[in-house]
Amino acid sequence: MLAVDKAIKDNMHILSEHKVLLALSGGIDSMVLAHALINSGISFSAAHVNYRLRGTQSDEDEVFVQQFCNKNNIRVFLKTHPLNQETQSNIQEAAREIRHSYFKELMKDYDLSLLLTAHHMNDSVENLFLNLSRGSGIKGLSSMSMNKNNILRPLIKISKHAIQLYAEIHQIKWREDSSNSKDYYLRNFIRLNIIPDIEKTIPHFSENTFRSISLLQKAQSLIEYYEKIWKNNNIIEDSNQINITLTTTAENYFVQSYLASKGFHPNTVEEIFKNLNSPGRQFESHDKWQAYLDRNKIILNLKEHSHGNHEYTIGNETSVIKMEKYFFTFTTNTQSEIGDSYLENPRNKITIDKDKLTLPLVIREWHAGDSIKPLGMNFLSKKVQDILTDRKVSLPDKSNTLVILSGNEIIWLVNHCLSETVKISYATKNYYTIEFNPID
């Protein structure tokens, strides 16, 4: 049995359980895989992307794929997405993102559950070299796995030579990509120059390297298992903020990996760890996260998440104020209605003397220089900044802290401090309750 046929047989239990989409470029690898699937009786759809990078040759690739699929009664999806080699900085990465986005879209729209690609052993070895040149860790060096995230690479253990042999025996036609013979792409340079030179001295280099990649994949699986345990114990996530608790130095690897997954460049991650003893330092990912260092924590906040510079006005008839992630409620009661229950209010709720207020009230973020007359301080003022610092409020939480003003005076530092000027007394007749809660 040829190696290609054995690979399909070994994966038959997976292939038979899914609706399959084959990435079909028209090159020798994907055409061999298509023939092997047909010969094994596996039903599948095919998808092809034309980037117009080689002009009429690219169009001829598309026609070739379409004719092959029509001849074999295979449903085929075709997409043209021109790329400009002169303006695109990393043409191969851009092409990869385009086709994988297209494949995901097709799988969702047509209820397809498994993507097949024709990557083989030599591709995996090239990928190792590419990621070594980028300074990747174990995850990057072992990234081209057999079956992960609904992508199956049934030929990944097979050499290019075995694929060429299969094509020769079965007289399979394919399209040759002329750009594969040029070494101006780094992957091509590795394929055409570096690996052949090594194999002159080490004849079984690719097979041995692939064995090392397989061992790295097993190590990565073990790391991911323990990383999940660490994440459950040390990370609290919501839609706008992530709290990472720092524990032992041995677990810093997990922190680094997690920060990388959130778009932080390795150099930025290195700077974060250099500054762990400098609370207040801030760092940005290349996309949407800001990292704040806060004692034994790293706090990630969405860059765009803030209450903003909005001011919210509360009149006599206002009962609810809704913000993006939070809401305030306002109720008026008499002493007989409320009794002494207000004495047990949680920190997100205050009950005050309504007759001491100047309406309308205003809700806004606190500003530098703001001060309040905290309850119990005999009408002495204290800066909001100092209160938040004394309470060890983290930098991102500080930046999102709200205040409520009556006239020009702050009466509540929300969730932290009530003003002496509006407290309940024996003379209070109208009780005013304000409550602050997240939107579920």
Q: What is the CATH number of the domain that holds 379?
A: 3.50.40.10
For residue 6, the number of C-alpha atoms closer than 13 Å in the C-beta half-sphere is: 8
Contact 245, 300 (CB under 8 A): no
Same domain, 335 and 399: yes
Same domain, 316 and 297: no
Q: Is the pLDDT of residue 305 over 60?
A: no
Q: Is the pLDDT of residue 283 over 80?
A: yes
Report if residue 297 sits inside a domain: yes
> Using CA atoms, how far apart are residues 244 and 287, in angstroms rounded to an integer?
19
The strand pairing partners of 403, in sequence order, are 364, 413
Same domain, 294 and 378: no
Q: What is the CATH number of the domain that holds 58?
A: 3.40.50.620
Q: Identity (one letter) of the amino acid at 37?
A: L
Tokens of 142: 């072992």
Residues 6+ apart with CB under 8 A from 298: 244, 246, 255, 259, 272, 291, 292
- The Cβ of residue 228 has, within 10 Å, a number of other Cβ atoms equal to 11
Same domain, 14 and 143: yes
Range of the domain at 271: 238-302
Tokens of 25: 């470029």
- In 52-108, DSSP assigns E strands to 76-80
Same domain, 246 and 180: no
Which of the listed residues 247, 278, 302 is the one where a domain comes to its end?
302
Same domain, 180 and 275: no
pLDDT one-digit tens code per residue, 217-253: 999 999 999 999 999 999 998 877 899 998 877 788 8
Same domain, 196 and 260: no
Same domain, 38 and 156: yes
> Using CA atoms, how far apart are residues 356 and 430, in angstroms rounded to an integer?
10
Q: Please, what sign has the CA dihedral across residues 330, 332, 333, 335?
A: positive
Q: What is the pLDDT of residue 322?
A: 87
> Using CA atoms, how far apart are residues 196 and 206, in angstroms rounded to an integer?
10
The rounded percent of the chain whose pLDDT value lies above 70 is 98
Which of 32-46, 197-211, 279-293 is predicted least confidently? Answer: 279-293
Report if residue 229 sits inside a domain: no
Q: Label residues 360-374 b or e (16+ Cβ within 10 Å = b).
A: ebbbbbbeeebbbbb
Report if residue 224 sits inside a domain: no
Which of the listed residues 302, 322, 352 is the one where a domain comes to its end?
302
Tokens of 126: 């090239």
Q: What is the pLDDT of residue 89?
A: 59
Give the mean model confidence (pLDDT) for residues 353-359.
91
Same domain, 268 and 242: yes
Contact 421, 328 (CB under 8 A): no
Tokens of 433: 């309750």
| N-to-C CA span, the chain | 59
Q: Is the pLDDT of residue 139 over 90?
A: no
Report if residue 431 sits inside a domain: yes
Tokens of 74: 């295979």
Same domain, 102 and 198: yes
Q: What is the pLDDT of residue 31?
A: 98
Report if residue 68 sits inside a domain: yes
> Using CA atoms, how far apart are residues 36 and 9, in angstroms rounded to an integer?
10
Report if residue 91 sits inside a domain: yes
Tokens of 369: 């220089």
Q: What total of structural domains would you count in the chain? A: 3
Tokens of 381: 């003022």
Q: Identity (one letter) of the amino acid at 114?
A: L
Q: What is the pLDDT of residue 287?
A: 75
Q: What is the pLDDT of residue 426?
A: 86
The single-letter DSSP state of residue 421 is G
Helix (H, G, I), strand (E, B) or coil at 327: strand
Q: Answer whether 0.85 is exceeded by the pTM.
A: no
Confidence of residue 394 (pLDDT cuts 50, 70, 90): confident
Give the mean model confidence (pLDDT) for residues 71-85.
92
For the chain, give me the number of helices (H) and strands (E)?
Answer: 16, 22
Same domain, 135 and 279: no
Which of the listed residues 187, 218, 249 is the one where a domain comes to its end?
218
Same domain, 291 and 201: no
Report if residue 324 sits inside a domain: yes
Q: How far is CA 140 from the centre of its chain?
A: 16
Give the mean model confidence (pLDDT) for residues 298-322.
77
Q: Please, what sign has the CA dihedral across residues 11, 17, 18, 20?
A: positive
Q: What is the pLDDT of residue 87?
A: 56
Tell me phi and psi for residue 369, to 5 degrees.
Answer: 95, -15
Distance set, CA 437 to CA 105, 135, 384, 405, 418 (Å): 38, 45, 21, 18, 17
Report if residue 226 sits inside a domain: no
> Using CA atoms, how far apart are residues 349 and 272, in angstroms rounded to an integer?
37
Distance set, CA 159 to CA 16, 33, 80, 174, 329 (Å): 24, 13, 31, 18, 67
Contact 177, 54 (CB under 8 A): yes
